A and B are shown apart, each in its own frame.
Chain A
Amino acid sequence: MEELIKNLGLVINATLIATPPLLYAALGSTFSERSGVVNIGIEGMMTIGAFVGAAVAHFTGNAWLAFLCGGLVGALFGLIHAIACVSFGADQTISGTAINFLAPGVAIFVCKALFEQSSNTPPLDTVQKLPKLFNGVFEVGSFWNNVLNTYVATYLAFVAVAIVWFIFYKTRFGMRLRAVGEHPKACETQGINVYRTRYIAVIASGFLSGLGGAYVTLCTVSQFRPEVIVGQGFIAIAAVIFGKFTPQGAMGACLLFGLCNGLKVLLGSGNVISPNLISMIPYVVTIITLVLFVGKSRVPAASGKAYVKQK
């Protein structure tokens, strides 16, 4: 029994560490998707957010500043995506793919320039990382320590879900954002600036993705390496589609995917099932679920189409 509780604690711990990067990125994705702009460049935005987070933490020792900077650089690439797709009407999938080349390329380039040709940043001390919430309160290795003593940024991720939900469904901006994703022409004729709304949404998606990436280097891995973001951005997109483009749905889906990671920690180390097979689970589950729940996911009507203003 004790063994079971201990394992449960470990699984929850691993889940709570794997989920936030996905969750931040998924929340970002909902902003973009609901406004009608497809953003598959999230993977790239996470990568550069991860790098900037690690680099700023190394140089300044201030983890929260680093966290913020990770978000800001993600927002910068969000701006690039917005300019290409909203103002220039570029194909959104192509633009996102370009960002998945550019952002990691820039990240590693700058990393090599700053850190003597290494594509890794120096490891961060605990002091330079983001803090945990209940540090020292519980006994190390105990169930409650595993569950509750996790990073502040993790709790923040779940708080962010509530904030995003509030913005979407209770505020003016959120209502306009959702309308723009459904029928931009109607919004334009009612005096709403479609371009501006989409810009804000896409920049926000970049910001949140950057935060997601920075979380990885500032909490989990403690340094930037090129492979630190390997698929999380794409899983986040899948989570959003899965969660029917709502913040609460995205949260549920991300927890599910995070759980898969938790199981990988538990099962993979015992060599019972190959970690590679476990890693496949989120992707296979996504497909199977979409097949079973056919047609339930309602995509924003204007998604993926560039909006051309009247003359």
Chain B
Amino acid sequence: MKQKNNQNKKTNRNIVKNVTQGLLHQNALYTVIAIFFGFLVGGIFLWSAGFSPFEAYAKLFNSVFSRPKYLIWSVIYATPLMFTGLSVAFSYKMGVFNIGAEGQYVVGSLAALCVGILLDAPPILHVLLCMLAAIAAGMVWSLLVAILRVRFGINEVLSFIMFNWIAFYLSNYVINTEVIHKVGGGEASKDIRQSARILLPQSVLNILKNDKANYGIFLAIIAAIAIWFILTKTTLGYRVQAVGLNPHAAKYGGINSNKTMYIAMSLSGALAALGGAIQLMGNSMRISQFAGQEGFGFQGITVALIASSHPIGCIFAGLFYGAMKYGGSKLNLIDAPTEVVDIIMGTIVLFIAISHVFRYIITRRQKKKEDN
């Protein structure tokens, strides 16, 4: 009995040791370095345009942290990004780069809008129906791409991009139809009904001094935990990661990679779509005519990368990006261009993409030390 206990303890200790020594630890280091370089490059641009980087970054920081109201805005901005980040992260575990999150987000938002405007239902039920509609739309949108890949061998990056733009124009088309379009002109849809909104109760809004605070953040956290659970504790997660790490061995081991791909990509699509729905129901309340892509899907890619595709990490990475977006939007108050946020984020992504080379070099050196 004692032997068994000791064995268990040893196993547990080994697991802990491995986890801490593991990739998670090292990924975080490179992410921090990438973020540093992002700010550095952004600072260079600011400086060459005649702004003080310190002043700009201070304003950025202040815009987020100086008042609770602002912090809540950061969370509100962050919420849809957590969903799209989760979407990209989950499909990345299976080896698929979900560049279609953008389109899935749009159709999710669109589906929720239609149910939110056209249907009349009691509050909680209405919200649930909107979310279900969004999930269904997102699943269909990504499942179609999966089918195109499995059945017809069509490269999914291409399909995703095509579907992104189809969703874009579909949204513009739908919001211009009579039933959906805003009454009395303007380039937007009607607002969704009150019963379809996910704002916190008015009393809470008054305390927080923010009238767009919504419970989307809680849904995002629940989603992240659910995805984490799926990946680490379930047989589905075993299969998804097996296919992502070595599709040949997965096949040999009897795993049906097509079925796994369908399930995983549907889930991814549902997550991104949910992001669109939550943003609609908690913040924007309507969909406007698109002139260009809003970018929530692509920003989700950044979130997933910063989080190293770890589901819980997506929460924090999402908060980071949300804060940057919100704070960045206030930069024009000191006449600094808000695009500096895009420059910072783009640089971060680039550096994270490059960083695996450094990781390879450093882990090889470590292995040599171990071998000696």
Residues of A within 8 A of B (CB): 38, 40, 80, 84, 88-91, 93-95, 97-106, 108-110, 112-113, 117, 226-227, 230-231, 234, 237-238, 241, 274, 276-277, 279-280, 283-284, 286-287, 290-291, 294-295, 299
Query: What's the Cα separation between A80 and B349 when bound, in Å?
Result: 13
Pairwise interchain contact B357-A280, C-beta atoms closer than 8 A: no
Most buried by A among B50, B97, B292, B347: B292
Q: Output the least CB separation between B128 and chain A (Å).
A: 30
Interface pair A105/B342, CB less than 8 Å apart: yes
B159 touches A287 (CB 8 A): yes
B70 adjacent to chain A (CB < 8 Å):
no
What 1/0 mask marks residues of chain B from 125 to 163 whose CB sits below 8 Å from any chain A CB? Answer: 000000000000000000000001000111101110111
Residue among B45, B340, B342 with the highest chain A CB neighbour number at 10 A: B342
> How far is A80 from B292 in the complex, measured between Cα atoms in Å?
25
Given contacts A108-B337, A241-B158, A274-B173, are A94 and B349 in contact (CB under 8 A)? yes
Query: Chain B nearest CB: distance from A99 CB in Å?
Result: 7
- The 5 residue pairs across chains A and B that have the minimum distance between CB atoms: A105-B342, A101-B346, A102-B346, A90-B353, A98-B349
Known: A97-B349, A294-B153. A274 touches B176 (CB 8 A): yes
A91 near B353: Cβ-Cβ < 8 Å: yes
**Residues A94 and B305 in contact, CB atoms below 8 Å apart:** yes
Some 17 contacts from A to B, beta carbons below 8 A apart, are A40-B99, A80-B350, A106-B339, A109-B49, A113-B49, A117-B332, A227-B291, A230-B291, A230-B292, A238-B161, A283-B162, A283-B163, A283-B166, A287-B159, A287-B162, A290-B152, A291-B154
Which of under 10, 10 to 19, 20 to 34, or 35 or more describes the interface residues of B? 35 or more
Chain A residue contacts of B350, Cβ below 8 A: 80, 84, 90, 95, 98-99, 102
| Structural contact, A108 and B339, CB atoms closer than 8 A | yes
Query: In the assembly, what is the distance between CA of A103 and CA of B50, in Å?
Result: 20
In this complex, what residue of B is CB-closest to A99? B346
Contact with A along B86-109 (1 / 0, CB 8 A): 000000000001010000000000
Closest to A106 in B: B343
B29 to nearest A CB, angstroms?
Answer: 17
Closest to A229 in B: B292
Q: Decide: A105 and B339 in contact? CB cutoff 8 A.
A: yes
With CB as the reference atom, state the residue of chain B lying closest to A242: B158
User: Total number of A-B contacts with CB less than 8 angstroms?
Assistant: 143
- Tell me which residues across on chain A come within 8 A of B301, comparing CB atoms: 94, 97
Digitize B30-62: 1 where CB-to-A-CB distance is under 8 Å, 0 elsewhere: 000000000000000100011000000000000
CB-CB nearest in chain A for B335: A117
Judge whether B326 is part of the interface by a CB distance below 8 angstroms: no
Specify the chain A residue showing the minimal Cβ separation from B49.
A113
* Contact assessment for A105 and B166 in the assembled complex, using a CB-CB cutoff below 8 Å: no
* In the bound complex, CA of A101 to CA of B347 (Å): 9
Q: Are A101 and B349 in contact (CB under 8 A)?
A: yes
Interface residue B258 (Cβ < 8 Å from any Cβ of A): no
Complex interface: chain A residues within 8 A of B238 (CB) = none
In this complex, what residue of B is CB-closest to A104? Answer: B342
- Take A102-B343, A105-B343 as given contacts and tell me if A97 and B298 are in contact as well, using a CB distance cutoff of 8 Å: yes
The yes or no answer to B229 lying at the interface (CB within 8 A) is no
> Do the beta carbons of B339 and A93 come within 8 Å of each other?
no
Q: Does B170 contact A (CB under 8 A)?
A: yes
Known: A108-B339, A231-B165. A299 touches B354 (CB 8 A): no
Q: B316-349: contact bitstring with A at CB < 8 Å (1 yes, 0 no)? A: 0000000000000000100101011111011101
Q: Which residue of B lies closest to A241 (CB)?
A: B158
Contacts of A99 in B (CB 8 A): 346, 350
Bound state CA distance, A102 and B345, in angstroms? 8
| Minimal beta-carbon separation of B157 from chain A (angstroms) | 6
Instruction: Give the distance to chain B from A254, nearest Cβ to Cβ, in Å.
Output: 16
Chain A residues, Cβ within 8 Å of B159: 287
Measured in the bound complex, the distance between the Cα atoms of B356 and A284 in whole Å is 37
- Contact pick for A102, options B162, B168, B347, CB 8 Å: B347
Measured between C-beta atoms, what is the minimum distance from B108 to chain A in Å?
18
Judge if B195 is at the interface, Cβ distance under 8 Å: no
Q: How far is the CB of A288 from chain B (nearest CB, A)?
A: 10
In contact, B291 and A88 (Cβ under 8 angstroms)? no
Kindly report which residue of chain B lies nearest to residue A303, judged by CB atoms: B155
Cβ-defined contact, B165 with A98, below 8 A: no
Given contacts A90-B353, A97-B99, A101-B349, contact A113 B50 (CB under 8 A): yes
Q: B162 contacts which chain A residues (CB < 8 A)?
A: 238, 283-284, 286-287
B342 and A101 form a contact (CB under 8 A): yes
Residues of A within 8 A of B166 (CB): 280, 283-284
Q: Tell me the minimal C-beta distance from B313 to chain A in angstroms.
A: 17
Cβ of A237 and Cβ of B292 under 8 Å apart?
no
Please give, as numbers and ranges, the residues of chain A lying within 8 Å of B158 by CB-CB distance.
Answer: 237-238, 241, 286, 290
How far is A270 from B45 in the complex, measured between Cα atoms in Å? 46
Residues of B within 8 A of A276 (CB): 169-170, 172-173, 176
Residues of B within 8 A of A110 (CB): 49
Which residues of chain B are near A280, meaning CB under 8 Å? Answer: 165-166, 169-170, 173
- A27 to B153 CA separation, bound complex (whole angstroms): 24
Residues of chain A contacted by B305 (CB below 8 angstroms)? 94
Provide the bound-state CA to CA distance between A51 and B97, in Å: 30
A93 in contact with B99 given A105-B340, A106-B343, A276-B173 (CB within 8 Å) = yes
Contact B153–A112 (Cβ < 8 Å): no
Kindly list 20 other residue pairs between chains A and B, CB separation below 8 angstroms, not including A94-B97, A98-B347, A109-B49.
Answer: A84-B354, A93-B97, A93-B157, A95-B350, A97-B99, A97-B301, A98-B349, A101-B302, A101-B342, A101-B343, A101-B345, A104-B342, A105-B339, A108-B339, A109-B337, A113-B49, A230-B292, A237-B161, A277-B169, A283-B163
